Structure 1
Amino acid sequence: MVKNRPIIGITPWFDYNENKMYINNVYCEAIILSGGLPVLLPIVEDDGLLSEMIEEFDGFLLSGGPDLDAAHWGEWNYKYNGEISPYRDKMELFIAKKAVAKDKPIFGICRGIQVLNVAIGGTLYQDIYSQNTDKELIKHSQTAPKWYPTHKVKLEEGSIVKRAHGAEIIAVNSFHHQAIREPAPEFIVTGRSEDGIIEAIEHRNCKFAVGVQWHPEHMWNKDSSFLNLFKSFVKSCL
């Protein structure tokens, strides 16, 4: 912790062709405005170094990104699975498992909610449209501006996400085709979209292990209520 600001490690995107890691600055801005100090984590494969990072940081933010390798929940990768990032899969699954085990606050966004779930024993739809043929789904990968909400989510009473937003129904943005299929036993579902797709999960026992399928980092500048979940996260890291 630095002068009462908890240090938050943010997992980066990684460009394999350019050997570069990067992050959208809106994640960092949200953490700063919420009272934290954001630090972009290095891409690390060594378990020893990853364990050291778990000890040194006050909390972790799992950012959005590409699809997970289906091998991590015991499936083949079907034709509709997308881009995979092996470095991120290894690093983020390790961080998620250790953070939950040590009750270190962790916040997963989009890909991040999926990482949290798989790390603790849950499964995913590799593609919600191909694997939900018994019903018609709403559009979950919008072509509207990133800050614009395109569907609604119902939040469960007593959940962290509902307390943060102060509302049972919220309108969110959406940029995904994978989603949680079977929640890990340690997580409860605290938000669903109109078509039943899981949009939020929370750990049963950890003080803050929360995942959301939408992208609040792109929405808080237009709607300040979307900063509240970042504030709850950073506060839990104190």
Structure 2
Amino acid sequence: MPNSRPIIGISAGFDYSENRLFINNGYIEAIRLAGGLPVLLPVTNDTELLKHIIGRFDGFLLSGGSDVDARFWGEPNYTFGGEISPLRDEPELFIAREAIAADKPILGICRGCQVMNIAMGGTIYQDIYAQQVGKEIYKHSQNAPKWYPTHDIFIEKDTKVFKAHQEEIIRVNSFHHQAVKDVAPGFIVSSRCGDGIVESIEHISCKFAVGVQWHPELMWEKDNTYLKIFVKFVALCK
């Protein structure tokens, strides 16, 4: 069926007190409007099921959320770390590795960007303010409406993020205290904030393996320019 929508698996948050999945509807609607069929992924460590999902789905979106356990890049969890979600960490790291190995398109947003980098051998700052001592860091956990862009990012030309937006500078929202530190082998930094913090990464040989630190799913309803990254992603899933 040449006009069928590609199936996009979306990782969800997990509420431990209520034993339930949750997701911001902005992710779902962005994929739908971009031409994809959004499907929530299960929270499971069943490797055989996850391999089946990799084979059946056309692309993957790793959503934002809590911190990743620092043990996955060989560090202790320091006091300035935040809440971690053990039921999410292993399956999402597995999906990132397998999707990239199979050249299945994958988009990581905020936590999802960090998951992709960790999965492929990179590291992250557990807290950009505590671990960048003596450096003036921008406000990356904004006190403003979630859709409101609060700082510029500077995009490298000839990258997938640039090809999606066709702009060298765009303004984005910001809700994180962690960020990519050592970029994983095979990846490049495709944009940075004015303070030097990594704002997006992408794999140099995959058709689409991109992580962005901002939250376009919270912005596109106010300004559809932020739908462009989803459109580029879904187009390459077809």
Number of the residue aligned with 1:117: 117
Partners of 1:2 and 1:141 in 2: CA distance: 42
C-alpha deviation, 1:80, in angstroms = 0.5
Q: Distance in 1 between matches of 2:17 and 2:10?
A: 22
Q: Give the Cα separation in 2 of the matches to 1:2 and 1:123.
A: 40
The question of 1:128 aligning with 2:120 is answered: no
Which position in structure 1 is the counterpart of 2:70?
A: 70
> For 1:144-163, what aligned pairs fall within 5 Å after superposition?
144-163=144-163
Deviation at 1:42, TM superposition (A): 1.2
Aligned partners of 1:166, 1:30: CA distance in 2, in Å?
19
CA RMSD of aligned residues (A): 1.0
How far, CA to CA, are the matches of 1:165 and 1:224 in structure 2?
Answer: 11
Whole-Å separation in 1 of the counterparts to 2:168 and 2:105: 24
> C-alpha distance in 2, partners of 1:95/1:163?
25
Aligned residue for 2:93? 93
Residue number in structure 1 paired with 2:81: 81
C-alpha separation in 2, matches of 1:43 and 1:122: 23
**SS across alignment from 1:188:** strand
Q: What residue is the counterpart of 1:104 in the other structure?
A: 104
Alignment-mate amino acid for residue 41 of structure 1: L
- What 5-or-longer segments of structure 1 have no aligned partner? none
What is the DSSP-based 3-state SS (H/G/I as helix, E as strand, rest coil) of the residue aligned with 1:138? coil
Matched, 1:53 2:73: no
Find runs of 4+ consecutive structure 1 residues off by over 4 angstroms.
none
Structure 2: 5+ residue runs without aligned partners? none
What is the alpha-carbon distance in structure 2 between the residues aligned to residue 3 and residue 223 of structure 1? 27
Match of 2:21 in 1: 21
Q: Find the residue that maps to 1:200 and give its secondary structure.
A: strand
Q: Which secondary structure state, in structure 1, belongs to the residue aligned with residue 184 of structure 2? A: coil
Q: Cα offset for 1:134?
A: 2.4
For 1:211-226, list aligned pairs within 5 A: 211-226=211-226
Counterpart CA distance in 1 for 2:113 and 2:120 is 11
Report Cα offsets for 1:8-55 as digits up to 9, x if no partner: 000010011110001111101000100000001111111111111101
> Structure 2 length as normaliser, TM-score?
0.98
Aligned pairs, number = 238
Q: Does residue 205 of the first structure (1) align with residue 190 of the second (2)? A: no
Equivalent position SS for 1:130 = coil
Amino acid in the other structure paired with 1:126? Q
Residue in structure 2 matched with residue 229 of structure 1 by the alignment: 229
Deviation per CA, 1:144-167: give whole Å up to 9, x if none. Answer: 001000011000010111111111
For 1:138 and 1:166, the matched residues in 2 are separated by 25
| Residue equivalent to 2:38 | 38
TM-score w.r.t. length of structure 1 = 0.98
**Secondary structure of the corresponding residue to residue 100 of structure 2:** helix
Amino acid at match of 2:75: E
